[in-house]
A and B are shown apart, each in its own frame.
Chain A
Amino acid sequence: MTTLTTNYLTPTGREEAWRFTPLKRLGGMHDGSAVVADRHSLSFVGTKAQGVSFELKPASDAPVLSESDDAIVGRIREAGKDVAVLTISANTEVADPIILGRSQGSLESAEFSRVQINVQNHARATIIVENTGDTHLAEDIEISVAAGASLTLVSLQEWSSKTVHAARLHTVVDRDATFKSVVVTIGGSLVRMLPTVEFAGPGASCELFGVYFATSGQFFEHRMFVDHKVANAKSRVNYKGALAGDQAHTVWIGDVFIRAAAEGTDTYELNRNLLLSDGARADSVPNLEIETGEIVGAGHASTTGRFDDEQLFYLMSRGINLADARRLVVRGFFNEIISEIGQDDIQTRLMDRIDDELAKAGA
């Protein structure tokens, strides 16, 4: 590897893609200074159903599915010898959710991890990725949802407080396939997610949901990109965030690109932020680039607000105290998205964690 390439890959903070990220807190994962350990923390939880395989393959057997100009992804691809590959074979309908977990991490070194998820033609599955504990992790997750297939992906960042996590979550959605994701980020010191979708065939659709809740000192960034490069695809994005406490900082970027070929595109993206205390900062930047006028619809909305006094008054006028009223409003705010997970035990666990964070923040 030449020095030239390395320099090219190192962000300075002036690039559009890095202008919000506190580079100093990335543990050197972006500039080559991180100590990269040979760690494979992603594990399959439970037994594999018929038609489901999970194995570690040499990189030569798992070529990349997508281009990326992200500096960290570039370094992961340079470093990665192996790729964790999850495959759902064609026409397989997996009844129970497939659970992948990461918990064996370390703060002493970084893990650079490549993951591929292949949902083959007409297969259907729900995959839940549970991230817990403390670690430094850089991930390049590539997902292929093949023609007619359907995937629900739940990505849970329930990290402990010191974790640094940079991830690209790129999904290629083929003809008539559907992809739904629910990304939840409520733990970690710095989390930078790139949930991106690329439509590869007409009739494809995606619903991208997300929630994040940052308290004092936490930095959570979600930088979305939906690439409408084929005709008649549909995308919906709905991310909601709450912030409480000094120096809590969230960033949501919603880039949607409707290329000239993407006639019949239908897209809408929404980001709402709830500021629960002073000293927190929510950046929200929706961005629509349109190269054809022959579309069904394209829109976006972004709001950032505080507690609604009228809602709190209404609840309190029924005897509910201020702390409980706030908790109800925050739960209500997140419920719309959390309920999309469709797994009661997980939803309860996340809501409890949100309650805890809210109580700790004293908001």
Chain B
Amino acid sequence: MSTLEIRGLKVSVDTENGAVEILKGVDLTIKSGETHAIMGPNGSGKSTLAYSIAGHPKYNITGGTVTLDGADVLEMTVDERAKAGLFLAMQYPVEVPGVSVSNFLRTAVTALRGEAPKLRTWVGEVKDAMEALNMDPSFAQRNVNEGFSGGEKKRHEIMQLELLKPKIAILDETDSGLDVDALRIVSEGVNRAKASENIGVLLITHYTRILRYIKPDFVHVFANGKIVEEGGPELADKLEANGYAEYVSA
């Protein structure tokens, strides 16, 4: 049983005109087995929240705390956060030229498990993970995200989620750019990971269609750098019908 606790998180980015505050005090608690959806307008700070939890160097933490089972996440290096059990499926996965998917995955799994996986079982493990997400085996020999289509990048992220088995996963617009079939395949991947590892999920999205596959326990409305409303799954339907006007006009 794990708990990711975010309290009063404030984050700024450096710009030519000095620091700009993006997150203005975020409070959120995610426990194993729970699924939280975050919905909110473009530019409201959703990715900033995701990246700040993962430790991207661009974001300066100016206030608040983030803990995982009591351990101070903000004190950890990026790789330590992953080792502690955090995973971020990125909105824009990064291309790493010259590094094959297979080499990348083996290096990551070795780092996370503390020892190199047994070659024979590992090859099968990767093959199964790729098959489950309908990815051609040839992807293993390709360079990480290089030349992948938008949808292929997202599948690759969820394949990593299944292989790396985190405690808490943050999915930043994993559904964007997916066709209907891919949306179902990717959602099934997330649900498999939830079922087998009882992970907690923070799912950032603009659309309710993914919530038909991945059922949220809680829905949070994010606007102007903070959570402005919370509710159950019915809140998502209300947002889809009415938009964010009532949250941003103020």
Q: Which residues of A does B touch, CB under 8 Å?
A: 309-311, 313-322, 324-325, 328-329, 331-336
Contacts and interface: CB of A to CB of B under 8 A. Distances in A.
Nearest to A334: B98
Contacts of A335: 98-99
B79 A320 contact: yes
A321 B96 contact: no
Interface SS majority for chain B: mixed
Interface in B65-96: 77-79, 81-83, 87-88, 90, 93-96
A328 B57 contact: no
B78 A316 contact: yes
Interface of B: 54-58, 77-79, 81-83, 87-88, 90, 93-99, 103-104, 107-108, 111-112, 143-144, 160, 164
A320 B98 contact: no
Given A318-B104, A319-B83, A328 B111 contact: no
Counting from the closest, the 6 A-B pairs by CB-CB distance are A332-B98, A319-B82, A316-B78, A335-B98, A318-B108, A314-B94
A313 B103 contact: no
Interface SS majority for chain A: helix
A316 B96 contact: no
Nearest to B94: A314
B98 A317 contact: no
A321 B94 contact: no
A205 to B, nearest CB: 25
A328 B107 contact: yes
A334 B97 CA distance: 10
7 contacts: A310-B94, A313-B78, A317-B90, A318-B160, A331-B98, A331-B99, A335-B99
Nearest to B107: A320
B108 A320 contact: yes
Nearest to B112: A319
Given A316-B78, A317-B82, A328 B160 contact: no
A328 B104 contact: yes
A113 B83 CA distance: 56
